[in-house]
């Protein structure tokens, strides 16, 4: 698995390279500005099995250049897995990433690299076409909706499961996190889908999109 | 041909003015004098503000005409009323005394007097020079004869018309006057408006007073700005000191302890490492919140429109944001506008009991205009200690203004205006 990394802070870039290499990723390019990132992504072979890990804010504009470059690259190369890292998380940006419905996107706080295993898990999920949404984004969405009736019908346990599901975790991963059996999770998820009126799907990514679409409706 | 048209229009306007000004200026002058005289009787207190407001409206109408018809720009010299004017009888007394203390009021009355005399005389020439020639032709066409026969000694200008020759001379004189009229009536109208300006425009001392008032206001807003930024700095210092800084110190201590016990007690060391990691994560969260309070990252990255949209996404109430901005304002203006909107929205969420909020942001004619409307229970006001006066102070630094319309029962609409250019 090859990685194109864009991060302007040297310490963080260096740390990420070391961490990714420790988990057997190959660093195709590690760049520090928007134009360099665009160039590195354009240089990938069409059949290259690569994932882009991108900081939202990049030079030279120091605005959301990283996010814009990643979105442009995904338009040029649909399905290119992109994991966006940010010092802060905004639903606005998460929506823009999820907008094309193709999957293979992630949006995480930079702090998530503290937990190497979880971070690498997120990278692998995004690389294989799944989704990785930061728990903060999901919590914002859930707390906004807490007053709404259908969410009110969920049990606390089901809410926990919904939160993890919306982040992009598989049933197996959720079962691991909550220390219960996978069958119990399968039961919870079908209850959640029933209470929220969502169509059931085996595909992890479609599942996330359905959850997010639900949490997001009425806007 | 255009000259003829212009002068005919100027003549018609002159005629119109001469009619309305006699009626308007004389009536208003008499009413004002009576009303002010009746103040001692008490009735004047109630009528004076009414009449003087009428006078101001009348003067404003004439200012507008001067601008539209002769391109004579006449500024308004009136002092603004203070915002905290009371209602009822005391308010009326205050208003009357404020009006009478304003030198512009007395200049208005002076103008009414001049307007109905000298103003009338100047303006009447414009139509007269165009209409009088027609009378010369009428005489020359034979009308002189019946008048003469009836024993009338008709004069046209300086010509005593007693024969056809005299009448022809009158027509000739009329033609000459008409030519003069065609060339001069726009100038006459303009001369009238210049006379109006000499009385209605602010005098030097009024302008000085206006400048003094503006300096007062700037001093006040600067004071507010310095005060609030000092308070902001204190808050940031305290937050850093109590939050992130303390956590980093704790982390350092934990690391020191870990160093000492990593070999003796690996289990305990591992526990401390987890604690240190947790502390560093919390320090980050605190720093992030602090940054958001100083300058929200989305504002820096995307500008006002998206920053407000992002803010709306975090609110527990459905909020529609409509943005029409062709560029970005200066950074300090953007920040002030953002925090003003943020405070207005916080107020709405806390007090309005609304379930829908609309934010409208657009820029027109050098003004950034923001309206925050909700369907809540209303009753908000800009008073001491309310969040709205905080917003007012924040906007005041940029010469911005805040208006609140919030009848009991709702809805509430908070409007903000900041003069600025987009780039």
Cβ A219–B318 below 8 Å, yes or no? Answer: yes
Q: Which of A132-141, B125-134, B158-167, B377-386 has the highest mean pLDDT?
A: A132-141
Query: Given pLDDT bands bounded at 50, 70 and 90, which one contains residue A46?
Result: confident
Cβ B302–A64 below 8 Å, yes or no? Answer: yes
**Do B195 and B51 sit in the same domain of this protein?**
yes
Query: Given pLDDT bands bounded at 50, 70 and 90, which one contains residue A204?
Result: low
**Do B279 and B316 sit in the same domain of this protein?**
no
Question: What percent of chain B has a predicted confidence (pLDDT) above 90?
Answer: 12
- What is the structure's pLDDT at B81? 75
**Do B53 and B171 sit in the same domain of this protein?**
yes
> Exposed, middle or buried: residue B21 (CB in 10 Å: 0-12, 13-18, 19+)?
buried
- What is the structure's pLDDT at B240? 87
Residue B207 domain-assigned?
A: no
Q: Lowest mean pLDDT: which of A37-46, B136-145, B248-257? A: B136-145
* Nearest CA distance, B409 vs chain A (angstrom): 24
Residue B149 domain-assigned?
A: yes
Candidate from B280, B306, B315 with C-beta closest to A92: B306
Q: Can you give the length of chain B in residues?
A: 423
Average pLDDT value for residue range A52-72: 91
Q: Which two tokens stand for residue A185?
A: 């999770």
Residues 6+ apart with CB under 8 A from A109: A85, A86, A87, A88, A89, A134, A136
Q: What does the pLDDT look like over A112-126, one tens digit per residue?
A: 887 888 899 999 999
Q: Does A116 touch chain B (CB under 8 A)?
A: no
Residue that finishes a domain, picked among B245, B264, B294 = B294
Q: How many CB atoms lie within 10 A of CB A181?
A: 10
Number of domains in chain B: 3
Q: What does the pLDDT look like over B162-187, one tens digit per residue?
A: 788 888 888 888 888 888 888 888 88
**Do B186 and B68 sit in the same domain of this protein?**
yes
Q: Which residues of A touch B277 (CB under 8 A)?
A: 114
**Do B17 and B124 sit in the same domain of this protein?**
yes
* Nearest CA distance, A97 vs chain B (angstrom): 15
Cβ A87–B297 below 8 Å, yes or no? Answer: yes
Residue B33 domain-assigned?
A: yes
**Do B264 and B277 sit in the same domain of this protein?**
yes
- What is the structure's pLDDT at A202? 64
Candidate from A92, A111, A114 with C-beta closest to B310: A92
- What is the structure's pLDDT at A219? 44
**Do B42 and B155 sit in the same domain of this protein?**
yes
A143 or B304: which leads in pLDDT: B304
Q: How far apart are CA B408 and CA B364, in angstroms?
A: 31
Question: What percent of chain B has a predicted confidence (pLDDT) above 70?
Answer: 98
* Nearest CA distance, A186 vs chain B (angstrom): 30
In the predicted model, is pLDDT for residue A214 greater than 50?
Answer: yes
Cβ A87–B313 below 8 Å, yes or no? Answer: no
Cβ A114–B288 below 8 Å, yes or no? Answer: no
Best to test chain B binding among A90, A91, A93 (most B CBs inside 10 Å): A90
Average pLDDT value for residue range A100-111: 86
- Cβ–Cβ < 8 Å for B303, B325: yes
Average pLDDT across chain A, whole number: 86
Cβ contacts from A onto B, under 8 A: 45
H-run or E-run covering B228: helix B204-240
Q: Which two tokens stand for residue B16?
A: 């119109």
Candidate from A63, A143, A218 with C-beta closest to B302: A63
Residue B210 domain-assigned?
A: no
Question: Any idea what the Cα angle at residue B283 is, between residues B279 and B288, rounded to 5°?
Answer: 150
Rg (CA), chain A: 17
In the predicted model, is pLDDT for residue A147 greater than 70?
Answer: no
Average pLDDT across chain B, whole number: 85
Rg (CA), chain B: 36
- Cβ–Cβ < 8 Å for A140, B314: yes
CA separation, residue B83 to residues B80, B179, B208, B383, B403 (Å):
9, 55, 22, 11, 11
- Cβ–Cβ < 8 Å for A28, A37: no
Q: Is A24 left (phi over 0), alpha (psi -120 to 50) or beta?
A: left
Q: Can you give the length of chain A in residues?
A: 219
Q: Of A201, A212, A207, A218, which is closest to residue A95 (Cα–Cα)?
A: A212
**Do B182 and B113 sit in the same domain of this protein?**
yes
Backbone angles phi, psi at B159, to 5 degrees: -95, 125
Query: Given pLDDT bands bounded at 50, 70 and 90, which one contains residue A56?
Result: very high
Q: Does A128 touch chain B (CB under 8 A)?
A: no
* Nearest CA distance, B260 vs chain A (angstrom): 23
ipTM score of the complex?
0.77
- What is the structure's pLDDT at A90? 86
**Do B188 and B325 sit in the same domain of this protein?**
no
- Cβ–Cβ < 8 Å for B395, B342: no
Q: Which residue has the tokens 């407001």?
A: B53
Residue B254 domain-assigned?
A: yes
Q: How far apart are CA A83 and CA A71, in angstroms?
A: 11
Q: Does A55 touch chain B (CB under 8 A)?
A: no
The sign of the dihedral angle between the CA atoms of B93, B98, B101, B102 is: negative
Candidate from B281, B291, B298 with C-beta closest to A111: B281
Q: How far apart are CA B410 and CA B376, in angstroms?
A: 6
Residue B339 domain-assigned?
A: yes
Average pLDDT value for residue range B2-15: 82
Q: Which of A208-212, B37-41, B151-155 has the highest mean pLDDT?
A: B37-41
Q: What does the pLDDT look like over B377-394, one tens digit per residue?
A: 888 877 656 778 888 888
Q: Which two tokens stand for residue B270?
A: 């591992």
* Nearest CA distance, B210 vs chain A (angstrom): 43
Residue B186 domain-assigned?
A: yes
Q: Lowest mean pLDDT: which of B57-66, B83-92, B216-225, B328-337? A: B83-92
Cβ B297–A218 below 8 Å, yes or no? Answer: no
Cβ B281–A114 below 8 Å, yes or no? Answer: yes
- What is the structure's pLDDT at B341? 94
Backbone angles phi, psi at A162, to 5 degrees: -60, -40
Candidate from B309, B316, B318 with C-beta closest to A92: B309
- Measured CB to CB, residues of chain B less than 8 Å from chain A are 277, 280-281, 284-285, 288, 291-292, 297-298, 300-302, 306, 309-310, 313-316, 318
Cβ A88–B309 below 8 Å, yes or no? Answer: no
- What is the structure's pLDDT at A70? 92
Cβ B316–A143 below 8 Å, yes or no? Answer: yes
In the predicted model, is pLDDT for residue B79 greater than 80?
Answer: no
- What is the structure's pLDDT at A84? 95
In the predicted model, is pLDDT for residue A152 greater than 80?
Answer: no
Candidate from B284, B301, B302 with C-beta closest to A111: B284
Cβ A64–B301 below 8 Å, yes or no? Answer: yes
Query: Given pLDDT bands bounded at 50, 70 and 90, which one contains residue A207?
Result: confident
Q: Read off the DSSP letter of residue B118.
A: I
Residue B184 domain-assigned?
A: yes
Q: Which residues of A touch B306 (CB under 8 A)?
A: 92
Q: How far apart are CA B298 and CA B310, in angstroms?
A: 8
- What is the structure's pLDDT at B205? 80
- Cβ–Cβ < 8 Å for B226, B272: no
Chain B residue closest in CA terms to A145 = B316
Q: Does A69 touch chain B (CB under 8 A)?
A: no
Q: What is the CATH classification number for the domain harbouring B327?
A: 3.30.565.10
Candidate from A64, A114, A144 with C-beta closest to B277: A114
**Do B279 and B320 sit in the same domain of this protein?**
no
Tell me which residues of chain A, numbers 2 to 31, contact chain B at a CB-CB cutoff of 8 Å: none
**Do B194 and B153 sit in the same domain of this protein?**
yes
Q: How many CB atoms lie within 10 A of CB B152?
A: 11
**Do B263 and B309 sit in the same domain of this protein?**
no
Angle between helices A116-127 and A10-22 (to 10 degrees): 80
Average pLDDT value for residue range B275-301: 88
Average pLDDT value for residue range A210-217: 74
pTM beyond 0.80: the answer is no
Residue that finishes a domain, picked among B153, B177, B202 = B202
Residue that finishes a domain, picked among B142, B170, B202 = B202
Q: Read off the DSSP letter of residue B137.
A: H
Candidate from B281, B298, B318 with C-beta closest to A92: B298
B228 or B361: which leads in pLDDT: B361
Average pLDDT value for residue range A72-89: 90
Residue B57: which domain range? 1-202
In the predicted model, is pLDDT for residue B361 greater than 90?
Answer: yes
* Nearest CA distance, B252 vs chain A (angstrom): 17
């Amino acid at each position: 698995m090859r990685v194109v990394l864009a991060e302007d802070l040297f310490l963080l870039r260096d740390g990420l390279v070391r961490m990714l290499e420790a988990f057997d990723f190959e660093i195709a390019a590690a760049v520090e500005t928007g134009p360099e990132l665009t160039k590195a992504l354009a240089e990938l072979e069409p059949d290259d099995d690569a994932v882009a890990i991108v900081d939202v804010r990049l030079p030279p504009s120091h605005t959301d250049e990283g996010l814009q470059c990643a979105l442009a690259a995904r338009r040029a190369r649909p399905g290119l897995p992109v994991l966006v890292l940010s010092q802060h998380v905004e639903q606005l940006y998460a929506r823009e990433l999820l907008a094309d419905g193709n999957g293979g996107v992630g949006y995480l706080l930079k702090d998530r690299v503290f937990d190497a295993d979880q971070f690498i898990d997120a990278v692998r999920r995004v690389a294989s076409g799944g989704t990785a949404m930061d728990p903060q984004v999901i919590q914002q969405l859930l707390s906004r909706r807490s007053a709404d009736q259908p969410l009110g019908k969920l049990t606390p346990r089901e809410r926990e499961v919904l939160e993890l599901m919306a982040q992009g975790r598989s049933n197996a991963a959720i079962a691991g996190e909550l220390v219960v059996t996978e069958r119990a999770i399968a039961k919870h998820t079908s209850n959640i889908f029933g209470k929220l009126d969502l169509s059931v799907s085996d595909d992890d990514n479609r599942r996330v999109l359905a959850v997010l679409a639900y949490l997001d409706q009425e806007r | 041909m255009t000259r003829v048209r212009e002068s005919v229009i100027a003549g018609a306007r002159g005629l119109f003015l001469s009619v309305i000004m006699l009626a308007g200026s004389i009536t208003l002058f008499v009413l004002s004098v009576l009303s002010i005289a009746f103040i001692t009787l008490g009735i004047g207190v109630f009528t004076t503000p009414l009449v003087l407001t009428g006078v101001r409206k009348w003067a404003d109408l004439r200012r507008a005409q001067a601008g539209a018809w002769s391109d004579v720009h006449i500024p308004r010299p009136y002092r603004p009323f203070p915002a905290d004017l009371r209602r009822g009888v005391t308010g009326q007394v205050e208003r009357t005394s404020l009006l009478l203390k304003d030198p512009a009021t007395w200049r208005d009355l002076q103008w009414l007097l001049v307007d109905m005399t000298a103003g009338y005389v100047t303006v009447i020439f414009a139509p007269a020079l165009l209409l009088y020639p027609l009378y010369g032709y009428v005489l020359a066409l034979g009308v002189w004869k019946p008048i003469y026969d009836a024993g009338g000694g008709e004069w046209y200008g300086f010509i005593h018309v007693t024969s056809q020759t005299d009448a022809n001379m009158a027509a000739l004189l009329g033609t000459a006057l008409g030519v003069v009229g065609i060339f001069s009536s726009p100038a006459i109208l303009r001369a009238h408006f210049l006379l109006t300006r000499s009385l209605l425009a602010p005098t030097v001392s009024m302008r000085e007073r206006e400048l003094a008032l503006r300096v007062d206001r700037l001093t006040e807003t600067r004071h507010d700005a310095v005060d609030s930024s000092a308070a902001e700095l204190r808050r940031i210092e305290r937050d850093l000191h109590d939050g992130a800084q303390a956590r980093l110190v704790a982390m350092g201590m934990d690391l020191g302890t870990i160093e000492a016990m990593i070999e003796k007690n690996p289990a305990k060391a591992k526990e401390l490492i987890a604690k240190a990691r947790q502390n560093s994560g919390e320090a980050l969260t605190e720093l992030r919140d602090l940054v958001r309070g100083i300058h929200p990252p989305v504002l820096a990255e995307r500008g006002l429109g998206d920053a407000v949209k992002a803010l709306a996404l975090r609110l527990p109430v459905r909020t529609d944001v409509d943005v029409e901005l062709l560029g970005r304002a200066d950074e300090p203006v953007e920040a002030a506008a953002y925090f003003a909107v943020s405070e207005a929205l916080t107020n709405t969420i806390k007090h309005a009991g609304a379930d829908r909020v609309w934010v409208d942001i657009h820029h027109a004619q050098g003004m950034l205009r923001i309206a925050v409307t909700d369907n809540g229970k209303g009753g908000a006001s800009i008073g001491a200690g309310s969040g709205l006066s905080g917003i007012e102070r924040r906007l005041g630094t940029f010469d911005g203004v805040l208006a609140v319309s919030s009848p009991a029962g709702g809805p509430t609409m908070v409007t903000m205006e900041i003069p600025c250019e987009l780039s």
